[in-house]
Structure 1
Amino acid sequence: MSKTSELETSFADGKILKRSNGGVGIVTFNNPEKRNAVSLDMWEGLGHALTELRDDANVRVVVLTGAGDKAFVSGADISQFEKNRHNAEASADYSRRSAAQRALLADYPKPTIACIRGFCLGGGLQIAMLADMRFAAEDSQFGIPAAKLGIAYGYDGLRNLVSLIGPSQARLLMYTGARIGSAEALRIGLVDRVMADDDLISATSEIAHTIANNAPLAVGAAKLTIAEVLKDESRRDMNAIKQAGIACMDSEDFREGRRAFMEKRKPLFKGR
């Protein structure tokens, strides 16, 4: 995604890559020989990469993408199933070991975008659904083949799926284990934008940098409030929403936004 502002770092023996560029952090699933299938080591590497980008004050948006043009993430690495998921007990342990990374992404304080090209299946779709937005190339394919593997899909994954596409479409995907293309994924609300294959990276980068150049406190307040709206009314933290609004109105960025508007120039936001 264009020239980087810092050296690329890697985790999980190079299968998770992290870099940043102009306020945008980029995490790449780098296992193209297996269509970026995710192993336990890669789950843990993803957690390290996301934590470093979360704690980097210069990074305001994080993009998740897959190496090569064949897949975003084609799912879990099935070659590990015999060792790590061969029965209920082993599968529960596998889920526990990847739960922290899923929770980290689910509650990530910065905006996240899944940039999808090729296969986005099973655990890969679960990762994409945890992002704030999903942009897909025209040649992408989506599905959850749990019914074809004899796997029960977990509550969190199905909750996210139902929240995006509704219960009937979720049943259709889950019962059949079928794959759908980008046009159908867009129609049912599984992805937010579909772009020409050659335009995906540049268009995603443009949107990510637009977000990164906006006021971080305002973007953060929107993210927090939308998350609270999606909760049951009894669980909503209205005080957190109020405090986020106060922080914005008392911020240097609010004053900078007003000055920039009056002076007819682009604002330079600092996140405070």
Structure 2
Amino acid sequence: MAGSIAITVEGGIARLVLTNPERRNAISSTMWRALSAFAHDAPRRSDIRVAVLRGAGDLAFSGGADISDFDTARSDASGAQSYDDLVEQACSALEGLPFPTVAFVRGACVGAGAALAASCDMRIAGDDAFFAIPAARLGLGYDPRGMARVLRTFGSQGARQLFFTADRLPAPRAHALGAVDLLAPAEEAEALADRTLARIAENAPLTLKAAKLAIRASESGAPPLLAEAKRATALANGSADYREGRQAFAEKRAPRFSGA
């Protein structure tokens, strides 16, 4: 199966690169499984404070699901459901990571690529980027779990535009809708992303984890997640990093957080 996820970790930043250039970084079943595997293993690593997902090159974040999968994995209703489960497993696992995730988008971000970008906590885009979900041009039913994710990210009007027209949603319009957090001219977008990632990686890991949990808990209202968020907040408030943050502030220096 074509395609892979290139993963490197340096300076607290995990970089995941969708690599399938002959198909505009389309995401194959193998790549979905690799994303799930990363999300399963990453919480046990102490060297990751933020993760960024991007496509190889500047022409596409992702052109969507790899259509070479369709005749095998998605040839009928049963296969389509199994494939949707595979996508949902990867997207949900990424959403559940204990550290922030960022999608860096240049060029096309289509179909399953848009779903993957919507699974991240933040989206940074160049003004050459666009989003599209062409399900209505394929006669494809869209999984309600994925629809909820699109709604959270693009809002109800953005979702209607994406699905009803199946047209491109330019990054400036997505930015106006709140789906893109930071927007820059194409030639400046990567530098903006790098600065943002470095800034996040400098911050206290336990605070980032507690904040992410609190946001997810507030959005869902799920009692188990609310309880987990409360425990994470208490852990951050009793941590050595909190003491280091207070001391660094008093000494007018940059804090050195250890994640403990």
Same fold (TM over 0.5): yes
Give the residue type in structure 2 aligned to 1:242. Answer: K
| Stretches of structure 2 lacking an aligned partner (at least 5 in a row) | none
Per-residue CA deviations over 1:47-93 (Å, capped at 9, x if unaligned) read 23334433321111000010011100110011221121111011112
CA contact (8 A) 2:84 2:143 kept: no
Map 1:52-91 onto structure 2 (within 5 A): 52-91=41-80
Q: Residue 186 in 1 paired to residue 182 in 2? A: no
1:225 shift after superposition: 0.4
CA contact (8 A) 1:61 1:111 kept: yes
Once the two structures are overlaid, the 10-residue window that deviates more, 240-249 or 56-65, is: 240-249
Q: Could you say which residue in structure 2 is the equivalent of 1:231?
A: 220
Per-residue CA deviations over 1:152-198 (Å, capped at 9, x if unaligned) read 11112211221223223312211111112111111112211111212
Alpha carbons of structure 1 residues 159 and 99: separation in structure 2 relative to 1, 3 Å: closer
Q: RMSD of aligned C-alpha atoms?
A: 1.7
CA contact (8 A) 2:88 2:146 kept: no
Q: Residue 25 in 1 paired to residue 14 in 2? A: yes
Q: Could you say which residue in structure 2 is the equivalent of 1:9?
A: none
Provide the secondary structure at the position in 1 that maps to 2:141.
Answer: coil
Provide the C-alpha distance between the structure 1 equivalents of 2:74 and 2:58, rounded to a whole number of angstroms.
Answer: 28
Provide the C-alpha distance between the structure 2 equivalents of 1:118 and 1:172, rounded to a whole number of angstroms.
Answer: 19
Q: Could you say which residue in structure 2 is the equivalent of 1:215?
A: 204
CA contact (8 A) 1:26 1:62 kept: yes
Q: Could you say which residue in structure 2 is the equivalent of 1:268?
A: 256
Give the residue type in structure 2 aligned to 1:140. Answer: A
Once the two structures are overlaid, the 10-residue window that deviates more, 253-262 or 87-96, is: 87-96
1:244 shift after superposition: 1.9
Q: Could you say which residue in structure 2 is the equivalent of 1:100?
A: 89
* 2:159 paired residue among 159, 166, 170: 170
Provide the secondary structure at the position in 2 that maps to 1:191.
Answer: coil
Alpha carbons of structure 1 residues 18 and 237: separation in structure 2 relative to 1, 3 Å: closer
Provide the C-alpha distance between the structure 2 equivalents of 1:168 and 1:200, rounded to a whole number of angstroms.
Answer: 26
CA contact (8 A) 1:120 1:142 kept: yes
Once the two structures are overlaid, the 10-residue window that deviates more, 61-70 or 76-85, is: 76-85
| Stretches of structure 1 lacking an aligned partner (at least 5 in a row) | 1-11
Alpha carbons of structure 1 residues 14 and 81: separation in structure 2 relative to 1, 3 Å: closer
Alpha carbons of structure 1 residues 238 and 52: separation in structure 2 relative to 1, 3 Å: closer
- Identical amino acids, percent of aligned pairs: 37
Q: Could you say which residue in structure 2 is the equivalent of 1:136?
A: 125
Alpha carbons of structure 1 residues 154 and 23: separation in structure 2 relative to 1, 3 Å: same
Provide the C-alpha distance between the structure 2 equivalents of 1:88 and 1:239, rounded to a whole number of angstroms.
Answer: 38
* 1:161 paired residue among 150, 174, 189: 150
Q: How many residues align?
A: 260
TM-score, structure 1 as length reference = 0.90
* 2:139 paired residue among 143, 146, 150: 150
Provide the C-alpha distance between the structure 2 equivalents of 1:113 and 1:67, rounded to a whole number of angstroms.
Answer: 15
CA contact (8 A) 1:75 1:120 kept: yes
Provide the secondary structure at the position in 2 that maps to 1:224.
Answer: helix
Give the residue type in structure 1 aligned to 2:197. Answer: A
CA contact (8 A) 1:161 1:170 kept: yes
CA contact (8 A) 1:53 1:62 kept: no
Q: Could you say which residue in structure 1 is the equivalent of 2:112?
A: 123
1:236 shift after superposition: 6.3
1:216 shift after superposition: 0.6
CA contact (8 A) 2:135 2:141 kept: yes
